Amino acid sequence: MLRFWPALCALLFLLAPSAAEARKVALIIGNGDYANTSRLVNPANDIRIIAASARSAGFDDVTIASDLAVNDFQKAMRDFRAKADGAEVAMVYYAGHGIEAQGKNWLIPTDAQLKSDLDLPYEAINLDRLMESVSGAQIRMVILDSCRNNPFGRSWRSGTRAVVNGLAGVEADDVLVIFAAAPGQTAADGTTGNSPFATSLAKRLPQPDVPVQLLGGLIRDDVLAATGGSQRPFVSASITGTPVYLVPRASGASGERRGLEELLWKGAMAENNVEAFKAYLAEFPSGKYAGQANDNINRLLKTPDAIAAPVTMVAMKQPTATARPATRKFTLTNIRVECIKLTGRLGLGLPDQLFLRFNTGQRFPEGKGDIYSIKKGESWVVDQIFEFDQPVSFQLREFDDIGGSDNIGTIDIGETAGTFTKTLDGDASDYRVTYTLVVS
């Protein structure tokens, strides 16, 4: 089945509109000069760098709007909806006050008084309306740098469902949604005149050869690093899996070839057999992963039946006599995962939700929804013995707050028998992993 991948991917890219035909539109809104609550300094600065970044990224029409009262806000969305209709890419960026109340997210115009949460439908902008303004485009992007403290909620009547901090997460079909902070968190303004979130977006938006689908993850990593892990952007990317590039590396063709190479390499790694790696080399003999592909082929050829079948992993309570014979057998056992420091999900001290993922494509626990919940000072003793017919690696991964998972660290088991202890400290967590490797 793999041999049909190159033709299929090439066809998808040929059907995609060229850079010359594409129409990309952006609406950049910054509200800072509020009449009835605290003023914000950064939005005026942030919208300037985001607008410049959007133009560098090839957006044909960039509309900048600042300090919008409610009627002006509504008109700006209505006018942009007409521009976005039929566009290849439509993006809205908003910096300003934003709150969650009544189970919904609201963007705050500069003239809002909001003496009660009951005033929200009349004086604020429901995020759903902003989503509608990009609904006519093929690729839709809504980016909010508005996860700040609720400046109105303290005076509202008791029993309101408003929250003091941040926005609520959303799941929107066919829209890339990026919030500056995770649900319940607030976003930092930074000390340089621009927020860490806006700084990252301005850098990443015009970056060559970056699929839109990866934009949120790159920004998330930047902001986590810039804030020492205290601010974690929220990303919901329910959009097409076909790579969409705002800025190809040199031309449309080169960007497409790079995307095709990445897809083909991921497929080869998933198949993990000689035939798959040869298919990659046939298409990209001098490609980015050519050396690794040749190494993998040489390694796999040392194993019987490697050409016909992918490397397999067997998980069991105890080794059995029916295991497939191999030149060498690598048995991984006595895995113990000790939590030294938690990620600190949402700042609430919630436990991490862990699982193991092997480079053979399999994971433990096996079910996609199965996890191991762990708190600081606790240990996870993995009650499985794993057998491989080659050296492998595995990742300790943690489910994140946006529906994906983060790699806390990777361990290569190597070819030397013994008991080993490794420390993993990715994603603001510290874990000590001990395991025993038997080679026979």
CB 108 within 8 A of CB 99: yes
pLDDT at 361: 64
Check residue 321 and give its pLDDT.
40
Confidence tier at 201 by pLDDT (50, 70, 90): very high
- At 307 the pLDDT is 41
Say what the pLDDT of residue 393 is: 84
Q: How confident is the model at residue 117 (pLDDT cuts 50, 70, 90)?
A: confident
Which of 128-132, 209-213, 231-235, 359-363 is predicted least confidently? Answer: 359-363
Distance (Å, whole) CA 387 – CA 393: 12
pLDDT digits (tens, 9 = 90+) for 320-350: 444 434 468 889 999 999 988 876 544 455 7
Q: How far apart are CA 421 and CA 338, in angstroms?
A: 11
| Highest mean pLDDT pick, 160-169, 195-204, 282-291, 422-431 | 195-204
Q: What percent of the chain has pLDDT over 70?
A: 71
pLDDT, greater one: 155 or 64:
64
**pLDDT tens digit string along 258-274?**
666 776 777 777 677 88
Q: Which residues of 375-409 are buried (b: 16+ CB within 10 A; e: fewer)?
A: eeeeebebebbbbbbbbbebbbbbbbbbeebbebb
CA distance 421 to 367: 27
Band the pLDDT of 434: cuts 50, 70, 90. Answer: very high
* Residue 27 pLDDT greater than 90, yes or no: yes
Residue 318 has pLDDT above 80, yes or no: no
pTM, entire model: 0.53
Task: Determine the average pLDDT of the residues in 208-220.
Answer: 87
Residue 420 phi/psi, 5° resolution?
-130, 155
Mean pLDDT in the chain? Answer: 76
Report how far residue 363's alpha carbon sits from residue 370's, in angstroms, rounded to the nearest whole number: 10
Better-scored residue on pLDDT, 4 or 56:
56
- Strand 352-358 and strand 363-364: pairing? antiparallel
- For 375-391, how does the pLDDT look when each residue is reduced to its tens digit (9 = 90+)? 888 888 988 898 888 88
